[in-house]
Amino acid sequence: VDNLPVRATTTTTTSSANVVKEWKKPDDVAPINEGFVIPSQVNYVGMGGPILVPGSTVKGSYAVAARHLSTGHLWDQVRVVGGAYGGFGRFSEASGRFIYLSYRDPNCIDTINVYDSSPDALTETELSSEDLLQAVIGAVGDLDAPLSADHRGFVSLVQYLNGQTPADRQRWRSEVLATQGSDFHEFAEHLRKLRETGSIVVFGTQSAIDSANSKLPVNRQMKVEQAMQGSKK
């Protein structure tokens, strides 16, 4: 509140939209790998962290690559092959973070391995012009999804607070439409950082978490806690 201006200002500044913001957090909060045992027969497997440093310019093409990864590799390997109810990824252009998520997942370590293989999936898959077009269309669809009146108001508020102008939104849209295969490779290189720096958080069965820990290197093993008391159902 102390940082809010006390009156309107006419000062013109360079827009900081589409630039990764620096997020402050308490000094005692550090990224750790955690496993929470719950009375369940399935798991909820997450992994993520920052892939862009504060101040980095975020390209609209990154949203296309992230969406393609979510609806392609992650959907195929986590849901279709792995048997989870869902598997996807989410990229935040504001924070520069990417997170992998699965839910009602019978696997744990196999899903983490799929996450680790995702950058390779982006770089090794030969995208046809039709594949690229479909990825772009999907990303544009996210931009132009129908909004209710209250949602339009909220989006407008967020844009105002972030200093996002119509010119910023047009630049983002233009970059989405101009996405090339090389942009997928560039995004994959950023994504590779999560193999070393990404935090793993799992809500699931004791056996799945223990099995994952036995196969993960020491620096990636999860600290295990009992999230809920009770027997499996």
pLDDT, averaged across the chain: 88
Residue in this structure with the two tokens 């931009």, named with its chain if needed? 143
User: Tens digits of per-residue pLDDT, 21-66?
Assistant: 776 665 556 678 999 999 999 999 999 999 998 888 899 999 999 9
Residue of 20 and 197 predicted with greater confidence: 197
Helices (H), the chain: 60-69, 109-124, 129-143, 149-161, 166-177, 181-191, 194-197, 206-215
pLDDT > 70: percent of the chain: 88
- Phi/psi of residue 92, nearest 5 degrees: -110, 115
How far is it, in rounded angstroms, from Cα 75 to Cα 127?
17
- Phi/psi of residue 72, nearest 5 degrees: -105, -90
pTM of the model: 0.83
Cβ atoms of 45 and 111 within 8 Å: the answer is yes
Q: How confident is the model at residue 95 (pLDDT cuts 50, 70, 90)?
A: confident
Residue in this structure with the two tokens 């102390």, named with its chain if needed? 2
What pLDDT score does 23 carry? Answer: 65
What pLDDT score does 229 carry? Answer: 59
User: Tens digits of per-residue pLDDT, 106-119?
Assistant: 999 999 999 999 99
DSSP structure class, residue 185 = H
Helices (H), 28-84: 60-69
What pLDDT score does 143 carry? Answer: 87
Among candidate residues 32, 74, 66, the one with its CA nearest the CA of residue 199? 32
How far is it, in rounded angstroms, from Cα 136 to Cα 125?
16
What pLDDT score does 127 carry? Answer: 86
What pLDDT score does 28 carry? Answer: 55
pLDDT at 8 > cutoff 80 = no
pLDDT > 90: percent of the chain: 68
Other CB atoms within a 10 A radius of the CB of residue 210 amount to 14
Residue 147 amino acid letter: L
